[in-house]
Structure 1
Amino acid sequence: MKKKIKYSAFIVIILAIILDIGTAQYMINFSLKPDVTASRNIETSWNNLKNNNADIAPWIDSIRTNHILKDTFIVSPDGCKLHAFYKNAVYPTGNTAILIHGYTSNAIFMMNIGHIYSEYLRYNILLPDNRFHGESEGSHIQMGWKDRKDILQWMKVAQTMYGDSLAMVVHGISMGGATTMMLSGDNLPGYVKCFVDDCGYTSVWDEFKNEMKAQFGIPPFPILYTASALNKIEHGWGFKEASSLKQVTKCKLPMLFIHGAEDDYVPTDMVYPLYEAKPEPKELWIVPGAAHAEAYITDRQDYRKRVCDFVNKYMK
């Protein structure tokens, strides 16, 4: 009888482990290998951008009609072909903004922010498609952690384009905001002057934990732990190490934090520990009434003013 109980318990444990691993693998595929068909559809992306930004529709039409926005490609050290758009300033300048899009989006959706830098600040703009998005290759979404290494490659491209007078601001939204913060703690070229994070998360772990609860009502243990370990084996990084919070503690350059007061996808509460952890200089703007990644469309005028005022302090 005891042997039978032990055998049954052993079977239950094995089945539980198999179920945990299978569920964790499903989570990785669900989160990091979603359907990005919409991200690949460039024409639809332009139409959506224009429909959501009627105030700059004539500018968008002019850019497309006159083929002002150019394509450029690089091949990463691991052989992945990566794409970006760029637009030179009207007058020659080294001032350049790298603009980083969010989860399952693409570079085109950063063109409303590009309008601020191009038309108000008269900067060059460079808009990469992150891996697995837009016109870039890639096997999975990197949630900003390894994307930051690709952005370093794009910085080198910008230096080739704009020369020794290059001065750079990095501005990201959502996953792009996390990428910006993760990048900010690395050893960066001297031409990088400041950062703008718009609604980035504290870490991939925290974001996935939040979504597991919000979407499925399940706790992080054991699935998130197993998924992180499997992702470490499969893709070379764990969810906890992919931390914006840890990276900003090492950032000495200026950073503007923007977050919607009504954000429940990357909860507004995430921005406060990020802001506290970041050494001076820094600024924080909580946008009343703004949901996730909607700070700009909620208050375009104030968004433009705050970004321009902040960047003008440090892009010298």
Structure 2
Amino acid sequence: MKTKTKLMIAAGAAAGAAASYYGVCELAYNRFIRRGPKFFAMGPQEDALTEEQRAEHRQRQEAVQSWFAASQVQDLTLTSFDGLRLHATQILNHPDSDKWIVMAHGYGADSLALLPRAKTFDEAGFNVLLPDLRGHGLSEGDYVGMGWNDRRDLIAWTDRIASEHPTSQIVLFGLSMGASAVMMACGEEDLSDHVVCAIEDCGYTSIPAIAEKQVRSAFGIATQPVLIGLSTLIKMRCGYSVWEASAVEQLRQCRVPMLFIHGEEDDFVPYDMVFENYYACASEKELYTVPAAGHCEAYRSPHYDERLFRFIRRFLR
């Protein structure tokens, strides 16, 4: 075979491999990062519940809907640091209270997914702010922030509360991806002093760590090459490097008291991640793990609310 023919064959093979590699990276981006319905849904799935559990779940939903309909609800918007119009739902049932909670939802959900938990805080005398994270709900954005750019958005929302309610005492709460956003926000120097403590429930350690797990689970292939290509697409389209997007590194600068929560049977965000986050945290902290709880299921423990409010009360004036 002539040398020229061999070179053409080799070039064709290389081009095919490059196209296949780009295709896999693009598929990973579309599945995990691009805005749209996600393969993982937050909250209990009715087909996995017993008939009794389904009845209890429906009763809770009806109670939450009735409470929400009777609440003082307002839609708020602000512009993010990079020009996105962000939306949040404010529930101001206690206008004379200085207690506020900002609640960050999980991956693929929206702010209303946290209404059951918001109701619990409302009953404890808190005003509630439920942001739609970028790329979710009524907020703009064509990509999922995975917590990193969301950290700046959470800081902007706390600044707004502090400006409009000068005596406010703000608690940050995050679930799953929202928990990682909370941890990342708490490592920023310009986080408002009105934030008195924070709670993270089943957050991951970093974007590369959770992306590697999910790519391996979804595609069953070597993750490092795909992660490198995926990170390049994220840098080009979302404007940040995944290699800097680490809750662990942010927590080393944390000055806000933090409660770390994780289900011991979590196979979506691995249970071990809570220990990496907890031991990295430089501020006052507590750790609460729940046996037999999967991802976002720690709240089912009868001790969950008591542990949350016992922690929060330590830091309210």
- TM-score, structure 1 as length reference: 0.88
d(CA) in 1 for partners of 2:38, 2:292: 30
45, 50, 54: which one aligns with 2:59: 54
| Aligned pairs for 1:268-287 within 5 A | 268-287=271-290
1:88 corresponds to: 92
1:76–1:82 contact (8 Å) kept in structure 2: yes
Aligned AA for 1:293?
A: C
2:154–2:182 contact (8 Å) kept in structure 1: no
3-state SS of paired residue (1:222): helix
d(CA) in 2 for partners of 1:166, 1:53: 34
1:42 corresponds to: none
- Work out whether 1:127 is the aligned partner of 2:99: no
d(CA) in 2 for partners of 1:131, 1:59: 25
d(CA) in 2 for partners of 1:21, 1:245: 30
Tell which deviates more after alignment, 9-18 or 20-29: 9-18
Tell which deviates more after alignment, 20-29 or 141-150: 20-29
With over 3 angstroms needed to count, the CA separation of the structure-2 counterparts of 1:60 and 1:160, relative to structure 1, is: farther
d(CA) in 1 for partners of 2:56, 2:141: 29
1:169–1:315 contact (8 Å) kept in structure 2: no
142, 146, 150: which one aligns with 2:145: 142
With over 3 angstroms needed to count, the CA separation of the structure-2 counterparts of 1:125 and 1:53, relative to structure 1, is: farther
Give the superposition deviation at 1:28.
0.9
1:96–1:123 contact (8 Å) kept in structure 2: yes
1:248 corresponds to: 251
207, 221, 224: which one aligns with 2:224: 221
1:264–1:292 contact (8 Å) kept in structure 2: yes
With over 3 angstroms needed to count, the CA separation of the structure-2 counterparts of 1:100 and 1:142, relative to structure 1, is: same
1:172 corresponds to: 174
1:184 corresponds to: 186
What are the Cα deviations for residues 280-303 of structure 1, in whole angstroms up to 9, with x where unaligned?
Answer: 41111111111111111x21x311
1:209–1:219 contact (8 Å) kept in structure 2: no
| Aligned pairs for 1:301-316 within 5 A | 301-316=302-317
d(CA) in 2 for partners of 1:203, 1:30: 18
Query: Percent same amino acid among aligned pairs?
Result: 32
1:21–1:227 contact (8 Å) kept in structure 2: no
1:116 corresponds to: 120
Structure 1: which 5+ runs fail to align? 40-49
Give the superposition deviation at 1:89.
4.3
Give the superposition deviation at 1:160.
3.2
Give the superposition deviation at 1:68.
2.3
- TM-score, structure 2 as length reference: 0.88
d(CA) in 2 for partners of 1:91, 1:22: 53
- Work out whether 1:162 is the aligned partner of 2:165: yes
d(CA) in 1 for partners of 2:39, 2:213: 25
With over 3 angstroms needed to count, the CA separation of the structure-2 counterparts of 1:37 and 1:176, relative to structure 1, is: closer
3-state SS of paired residue (1:251): coil
d(CA) in 1 for partners of 2:308, 2:273: 21
1:102–1:174 contact (8 Å) kept in structure 2: yes
Aligned AA for 1:183?
A: A
CA RMSD of aligned residues (A): 2.3
With over 3 angstroms needed to count, the CA separation of the structure-2 counterparts of 1:215 and 1:25, relative to structure 1, is: closer
2:71–2:92 contact (8 Å) kept in structure 1: no
User: What is the aligned residue count?
Assistant: 302
With over 3 angstroms needed to count, the CA separation of the structure-2 counterparts of 1:26 and 1:37, relative to structure 1, is: closer
1:85–1:128 contact (8 Å) kept in structure 2: yes
Tell which deviates more after alignment, 272-281 or 85-94: 85-94
2:83 corresponds to: 79
Give the superposition deviation at 1:157.
1.9
Give the superposition deviation at 1:241.
1.6
3-state SS of paired residue (1:83): strand
